[in-house]
Structure 1
Amino acid sequence: MSEAPQKRRRVQRSPSPGYKLDDDDNYVPYVPVAQRRQEKLAKITSWTANSDRDRARRQKEEMEEQEDAEKEEERRREKARKERTLLMEAQEVHTKKDIEGAYSKKTDYQKAEEADAEILAAIASRRKLASDLELATGVQYTEPLKSSWRPPRYIRERTEEQHKKIREKHHILVDGENIPPPIEHFQDMKIPGSILDFLKTKRITDPTPIQLQGIPTAFAGRDLIGIAFTGSGKTLAFCLPLIMMALEEEAKLPLVRGEGPVGVILCPSRELANQTYENVLAWCEALAKDGRYPHLNTLLCMGGISMGEQSHVLNKGLHIVVATPGRLIDMLEKKKFTFNNCKYLCMDEADRMIDLGFEDDVRNIMSFFKRQRQTLLFSATMPKKIQDFAQQSLIKPILVNVGRAGAANLDVLQVVEYVKQEAKMVYLLECLQKTAPPVIVFSENKNEVDDIQEYLLLKGVEAVAIHGSKSQEERQYAIKSFKSGAKDVMVASGVASKGLDFNDIQHVIIFSMPKEIEDYVHQIGRTGRSGKTGIATTFVNMNTPEQTLLDLKYLLMEAGQKVPPFLASIDDPRAVQGGSLKGCPVCGGLGHGISNCPKLEDTQRRQMASHRAANDAGGGF
């Protein structure tokens, strides 16, 4: 049964609000949000513009005030200029002209001095003399090696003033910290009696100036730069300390096979190495002769000889090595011996050894050292540049200088003669009559050496020749026969001028004057050795460079020798310009500056040649 439909009730709605559109008093129109933002932004922008205008106005006012101040200052200056007198202006003009004139009138000498300073600064920036390992790791030694040697008490108790008087008496110049005292007698140096007896047989009774200061310095373990005239006994000054050091090491604990050496002596030429080796051998044999001291083994290590002949030395403990750089590097690389316990390094003719020709070899050799070493550098010619370089490389070194570095031996009478090129050979025979043999004749040209020997042989003169292109056997034969007296004349290139000691050479003839004055000093130094006197005759002519003649002129003047008129007439442009005459810091020559140095030119030429050779070798397939 269906239900009856329900009745819906009427719902009453609330009345709708009424709006009076014509009521303007309370009506606020609706503004969209975007429009309100734009209006706000415009208002802020107007504020910013107003502040910028104010800032610009203030800046303009400041600039105007500054301009007014500058105009006022300019007016004041103008007024001051007008008030100055004509006299003041004239004085200022003269002063200005004097300054400008002094600048513009700078002499050629002053300009050359400035150029020399620049060149010297450029070549002075070289790495110090140390191994690559030490340079790479930054290893630096600050104190010299300790030594057990001490001078006698009465010498230790002397005052510094007494030491100074002894040095002045023997014309010794020293420089360095805590310099060991000079000792005037071998006995006071505590040298074994057997060596002293041997030295007496060679008529060596008292130390020479380089020895009386150099040997105590080396005995004390100090690094040393020794400079002295040729023939002044430098070899004994650096060999004896090494012998004593090796003797001390052997006494502590005898060396066995594979051990050593204790020290090494480096020489630039085979002849000099062989001569030094023979001296060391003789002194070591004299030391061991009386039976109280052990025998010391010495090895000669140089090119041109078979090292197999010295296998008996290598099979024992090695004490001393005398070597040339090339063969020594070869032996070290092949591990024939090591420098693990080596603590003494001496370089004879050191200016040549550490010059550009040998510097890389020396660094290579130093890389084999495993510990601190005592380093000694000796030469008759050591220019300022090399001295400065060496002092940076050594440890608190002592500089011992007997006379000016590069000066000629005062015991040699120097005679310079003008001889035409075509007349040299004939005049050579006349010069040979000045003194009895033996005589050495020097020439810079290898072919000329052979020509001179051939000419002398044709004239009945017993002559031998030696130069770098000859074999080692020929060179050794020439030196042996000349030293023994079998030959009267030796004709040589520069290879025989460095350090070689020949007995009783009374006369040296320089057939062709070398360009470098250092070579001349070494060549004339083959005579006048060990206190004896000698004569050096030098041929010059129009082929000799004027700069070389100027160097020669100053060297003669320094040594108090007679200067021939043709040399005296040569003017030094530096003297004409009023400059001070200073020696060349590269080669020590007194007649030129570094910008005209023949040694520097030769070094640069060799460098360029080596670079060219390297580039040519690397450019092909």
Structure 2
Amino acid sequence: MESEERKVEAPHKKRYRKEESSSDSEADYVPYVPVKERKKFQLVKLGRLTQLKEEFGQRGKSSSENEHDNEDDEDGQVWGRKSNISLLDQHTELKKLAEAKKESAMERQLKEEEKILESVAEKKALMGVAELAKGIQYEDPIKTCWKPPQYILAMSETRHNRVRKKLRILVEGEDVPPPIKSFAQMKFSRGILTGLERKGIVWPTPIQVQGIPTVLSGRDMIGIAFTGSGKTLVFVLPLIMFCLEQETRLPFIKNEGPYGLIICPSRELAKQTHDIITHYCSGLPHEIRCCLAIGGIPVSESMDIISRGVHIMVATPGRLMDMLDKKMVRLDVCRYLCMDEADRMIDMGFEEDVRTIFSFFKGQRQTLLFSATMPKKIQNFARSALVKPVTINVGRAGAASMNVIQEVEYVKQEAKIVYLLECLQKTPPPVLIFAEKKQDVDAIHEYLLLKGVEAVAIHGGKDQEERSRSVEAFRKGQKDVLVATDVASKGLDFAAVQHVINYDMPDDVENYVHRIGRTGRSGKTGIATTFINKANDESVLLDLKHLLMEARQKVPPFLAALQSENEKYLELGDERGCSYCGGLGHRITDCPKLEAIQNKQASNIGRRDYLASNAADY
């Protein structure tokens, strides 16, 4: 019995000794917590923060919480229920904290973007070589004889701002001329007013209300307004008035001129501008001669007018450069320069040509830049060539016209050409179809002709005579459909077009804005149908999605499902989207256009231009 009892007691003794020996390990050590600390922890747990403040004189946090709250210490945030504060007040406080965090993130993003924009900014000013070499800088704008009516000058600045606000006109610059709401008050010649009446134009559009007085005052200007808003008349009518004044004072002699120069990125736009000028010059008391200088037409036609003395010259950069190099035309007396669709011209690689053209001027000129899409980068670059410029903005730069109903449809690549026939049923003719590639334009044109549709086509590969004939037939209503590349997307005015079809979504959302702007012009409503599929780049589709959202258009489910990583940063401060290309679906930090340009530049580093060096030898 005694031996059995010993066997029972022995294990108890060993177990006790083992526990005692292991109690020294740090893993099982439990520190002593004073009563004061334990009470504090209990109060925090119950959410009685007010009592804590009174007892301990601080926004107490127990030592056990510190590990979890390190991230929130920066904001001074205390976790736990606040029994004495209403839920609404707590929500407001949390909202403020969230906003503060957001602002700091926004500030960091903006600083980063400013650095990027500064690094890609053009270092060379958009000025002539001689002006840059001699350091010539003009301080004051050109003086003109025109002044607004006395009673408009007598009106207060508050009234002018009220008019601008009502018409949604945004202006930047010093001493901005007052807006004028009537063509008669702008002191135009009787012949010009008659020309406006013949066109059915009674009242000026918002860009004309502010833009025409600015140009007539001799100010340099950047004009940004949506497609079809009447930008052409803003630079055409004042130029005709200036030329009329010059001709009245001292008639132009042989080989003199031009006094005004208008540069356009495409031949079709240049021809359209020339036709508009000819229309308004027809009823004037003096003959105002206008010359068209574009590729594809004989130089002799231009020279006939130049030899008699030319007032206005409308040209594309290539032909103008050629004529200036061969001394066929001089810019000695030219005092007026307008670049229509200026941002597209610089983007299309005409930047060096424009800088060279500036070098042919012999004195100060009034410079005007116009476009529907002008990103911040282009505006900053353009300002280097302007003297105290006035920037006039009607709507956001790069925004689509609100008169266009935008429909985006998912169509597989192989089904596009067949689906075109169904889309043509949406509206009566005429209809405009855009495609990216020349071969697609030819394929669509041939398909439509086979199906019995009266169609014509234009692209850069066709000769000028055929292009002009096609555009004219479409404009006059002799043909129902015009199939074109982007040569027809910039500035062309087809008043009767109710429907634009984008066979391809362009790689650049700015081209999309220009394309759909061929309809819904002069206050009329139009429809734009765009085909998209998996072949399209996601960044372009994101830009399109946000463009549709901005214009309050229907966003299809497959577009709505697209999400960008930086969705929260798309709108920072006053700046929306990318400041480099103007796209709304990304910021400059993710700009695909900028990335492509930088990759192209990087690939050219260290390469020698053998072709150019060999050409120089001959």
Alignment TM-score > 0.5, same fold: yes
**2:544 matches 1:547:** no
Tell me the matched-pair count.
Answer: 530
Q: 2:385 aligns with which of 382, 393, 397?
A: 393
In 2: Cα distance, 1:614 partner to 1:349 partner = 33
Describe the SS at the equivalent of 1:134: helix
Could you tell me which amino acid in structure 2 is paired with residue 245 of structure 1? F
**2:156 matches 1:156:** no
CA contact (8 A) 1:452 1:491 kept: yes
CA contact (8 A) 2:191 2:280 kept: no
CA contact (8 A) 2:570 2:584 kept: no
Indicate the percent of aligned positions where both proteins have the same amino acid.
Answer: 56
Q: Please give the residue correspondences for 1:319-334 in structure 2 after superposition, counting only pairs within 5 Å.
A: 319-334=311-326
Cross-structure match for 1:132: 129
Describe the SS at the equivalent of 1:393: coil
Shift of 1:333: 1.6
1:388-419 C-alpha deviation (Å, 9 max, x unpaired): 22223311100110000000000001111111
**2:491 matches 1:499:** yes
Cross-structure match for 2:462: 470
In 1: Cα distance, 2:611 partner to 2:540 partner = 36
Cross-structure match for 1:4: none
In 2: Cα distance, 1:212 partner to 1:116 partner = 35
Shift of 1:328: 0.6
Could you tell me which amino acid in structure 1 is paired with residue 376 of structure 2? K
Gaps of 5+ in 1: 1-86, 288-292
Cross-structure match for 2:482: 490
Cross-structure match for 1:70: none
User: Kindly tell me: are residues 595 and 88 of structure 1, through their superposed partners in 2, closer, same or farther at Cα, counting changes over 3 Å?
Assistant: closer
User: Kindly tell me: are residues 174 and 527 of structure 1, through their superposed partners in 2, closer, same or farther at Cα, counting changes over 3 Å?
Assistant: same
Shift of 1:562: 1.1
CA contact (8 A) 1:516 1:598 kept: no
Describe the SS at the equivalent of 1:448: helix
In 1: Cα distance, 2:269 partner to 2:424 partner = 26
In 2: Cα distance, 1:584 partner to 1:176 partner = 23
In 2: Cα distance, 1:459 partner to 1:112 partner = 54
Shift of 1:444: 0.8
Higher deviation after alignment, 278-287 or 376-385: 278-287
Shift of 1:352: 1.7
Shift of 1:95: 6.8
Higher deviation after alignment, 167-176 or 564-573: 564-573
In 1: Cα distance, 2:594 partner to 2:190 partner = 47
CA contact (8 A) 2:141 2:219 kept: yes
CA contact (8 A) 1:305 1:472 kept: yes
1:63-93 C-alpha deviation (Å, 9 max, x unpaired): xxxxxxxxxxxxxxxxxxxxxxxx9998999
Could you tell me which amino acid in structure 1 is paired with residue 163 of structure 2? I
Shift of 1:106: 13
Cross-structure match for 1:66: none
Q: 1:306 aligns with which of 291, 298, 311?
A: 298
In 2: Cα distance, 1:577 partner to 1:184 partner = 39
Q: 1:278 aligns with which of 275, 278, 299?
A: 275
User: Kindly tell me: are residues 111 and 172 of structure 1, through their superposed partners in 2, closer, same or farther at Cα, counting changes over 3 Å?
Assistant: closer
Higher deviation after alignment, 590-599 or 278-287: 590-599
CA contact (8 A) 1:247 1:294 kept: yes
Normalised by the length of structure 1, the TM-score is 0.80
CA contact (8 A) 2:570 2:586 kept: no
In 2: Cα distance, 1:602 partner to 1:236 partner = 36
Describe the SS at the equivalent of 2:349: coil
In 2: Cα distance, 1:126 partner to 1:282 partner = 41
Could you tell me which amino acid in structure 2 is paired with residue 396 of structure 1? K
Shift of 1:606: 6.1
Shift of 1:461: 0.7
Shift of 1:502: 1.2
Shift of 1:476: 1.1
Could you tell me which amino acid in structure 2 is paired with residue 593 of structure 1? R
Q: 2:394 aligns with which of 387, 393, 402?
A: 402
Could you tell me which amino acid in structure 2 is paired with residue 127 of structure 1? K
Gaps of 5+ in 2: 1-59, 76-101
Higher deviation after alignment, 609-618 or 311-320: 609-618
Cross-structure match for 1:3: none
CA contact (8 A) 1:550 1:567 kept: yes
CA contact (8 A) 2:570 2:576 kept: no
User: Kindly tell me: are residues 158 and 458 of structure 1, through their superposed partners in 2, closer, same or farther at Cα, counting changes over 3 Å?
Assistant: same
**2:400 matches 1:435:** no
**2:581 matches 1:587:** yes
Describe the SS at the equivalent of 2:419: helix
1:318-364 C-alpha deviation (Å, 9 max, x unpaired): 11000011111111121122111111000000112234711100000
Query: In angstroms, what is the RMSD of aligned CA positions?
Result: 2.9
Cross-structure match for 1:600: 594
Could you tell me which amino acid in structure 2 is paired with residue 405 of structure 1? A
Could you tell me which amino acid in structure 2 is paired with residue 350 of structure 1? A
Shift of 1:312: 2.7
CA contact (8 A) 1:128 1:392 kept: yes
In 2: Cα distance, 1:517 partner to 1:554 partner = 11
Shift of 1:125: 4.0
